[in-house]
């Protein structure tokens, strides 16, 4: 049972047992996480470790959490879909690590894209990191009106040890610093050096030799 202090907390750090996946366990852990829903007006920092559900409850990524600034999801290895974090108006820091079941990041990551959608996806996002998302293959571009381009405030993007990631990254990323490491199938690393102020890549399909060490930003 969740006590009143947890419901009113500003910073929450939950660690699950990380057991081997089982249908009943996955359903149970999703229900447990759903029952842990904090008060949306207070929460500013959220970290979830070793969650074994295949999906997150609806409150994770709900826009009512308007003051949420930082989210870390680590070791949620059976999740196959990310919450709609693009709906969170104050979210600045997002760290996704060790998601072994995530293959595609699509429109659901950004949130609704209907005609009356007036919130720019990831409007406040500054630091975005994907680390060890081993099965990830595709990052789909957000669809919809061009005036609602995602990540207008992005300062730093890190993509680390995502060996199956292929194709192109979203073309409207406004990040000033990009670090790509251990992504040998990524098709367009070469062009990043001319787009971003600071660019570093290692272990990609095409080597970039024109970036001086003094220009590199390590995440």
Stretch 147-155: mean pLDDT = 80
**Rounded Cα gap, residues 64 and 81, in angstroms:** 20
Structure-derived torsion over alpha carbons of residues 167, 172, 175, 177, reported in degrees to the nearest 10: 30
Confidence of residue 103 (pLDDT cuts 50, 70, 90): very high
Confidence of residue 85 (pLDDT cuts 50, 70, 90): very high
The pLDDT of residue 201 is 58
SS3 assignment for 182-200? CCCCECCHHHHHHHCCEEE
The structure tokens 């089982």 sit at: 22
pLDDT at residue 207 is higher than 80: no
The pLDDT of residue 200 is 60
CB-facing half-sphere around the CA of 184: CA atoms within 13 A = 2
The pLDDT of residue 211 is 37
**Rounded Cα gap, residues 129 and 61, in angstroms:** 17
The pLDDT of residue 13 is 85
Q: Kindly report the backbone phi and psi dihedral angles of residue 179, in degrees, each rounded to the nearest multiple of 5, phi listed first.
A: -125, 120
The pLDDT of residue 17 is 67
What are residue 129's DSSP bridge partners? 95, 158
The pLDDT of residue 118 is 56
User: Reduced to 3 states, what is the DSSP secondary structure of residue 172?
Assistant: coil
Q: Return the domain boundaries, the chain.
A: 4-215
For the segment 4-43, what is each residue's pLDDT rounded down to a tens digit? 455 556 888 888 765 554 545 778 888 989 988 888 888 9
Q: Topology of 4-215 in CATH?
A: 3.80.10
The pLDDT of residue 55 is 92
Angle at 141 between CA 81 and CA 91, to 5 degrees: 65
The pLDDT of residue 25 is 73
SS3 content of the chain, % helix, strand, coil (to 5): 15, 20, 65
Which residues lie closer than 8 Å to 214 by C-beta, 6 or more apart?
Answer: none
**Rounded Cα gap, residues 219 and 211, in angstroms:** 16
Confidence of residue 143 (pLDDT cuts 50, 70, 90): low
**Rounded Cα gap, residues 210 and 48, in angstroms:** 39
For the segment 170-189, what is each residue's pLDDT rounded down to a tens digit? 766 666 688 889 998 886 55
Q: Kindly report the backbone phi and psi dihedral angles of residue 24, in degrees, each rounded to the nearest multiple of 5, phi listed first.
A: -65, -40
Confidence of residue 61 (pLDDT cuts 50, 70, 90): very high
- Closest by CA to 102, choosing from 171, 32, 54, 163, is 54
pLDDT at residue 99 is higher than 80: yes
DSSP string, 118-136: -SPTTTT--EEEEE--TT-
Structure tokens at 184: 């040998």
Report the chain's mean pLDDT, rounded to a whole number: 78
């Amino acid at each position: 049972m969740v006590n009143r202090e947890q419901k009113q907390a500003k910073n929450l750090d939950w660690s699950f047992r990380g057991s081997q996946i089982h249908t009943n366990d996955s359903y149970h852990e999703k229900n447990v996480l759903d029952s842990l829903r904090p008060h949306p007006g207070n929460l500013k920092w959220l970290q979830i470790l070793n969650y074994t559900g295949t999906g997150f409850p609806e409150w994770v990524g709900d826009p009512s959490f308007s003051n949420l600034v930082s989210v870390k999801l680590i070791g949620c290895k059976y999740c196959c879909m990310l919450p709609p974090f693009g709906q969170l108006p104050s979210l600045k820091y997002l760290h996704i690590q060790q998601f072994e079941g995530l293959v595609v990041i699509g429109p659901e990551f950004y949130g609704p894209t209907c005609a009356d959608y007036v919130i720019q996806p990831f409007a406040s996002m500054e630091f975005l990191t994907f680390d060890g998302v081993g099965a990830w293959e595709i990052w789909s571009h957000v669809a919809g009106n061009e005036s609602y381009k995602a990540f207008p405030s992005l300062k730093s993007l890190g993509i680390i040890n995502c060996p199956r990631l292929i194709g192109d990254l979203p073309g409207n990323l406004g990040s000033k610093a990009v670090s790509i490491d251990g992504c040998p199938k990524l098709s367009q690393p070469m062009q990043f050096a001319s787009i971003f102020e600071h660019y570093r890549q290692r272990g990609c399909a095409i080597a970039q030799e024109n970036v001086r060490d003094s220009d590199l930003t390590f995440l």
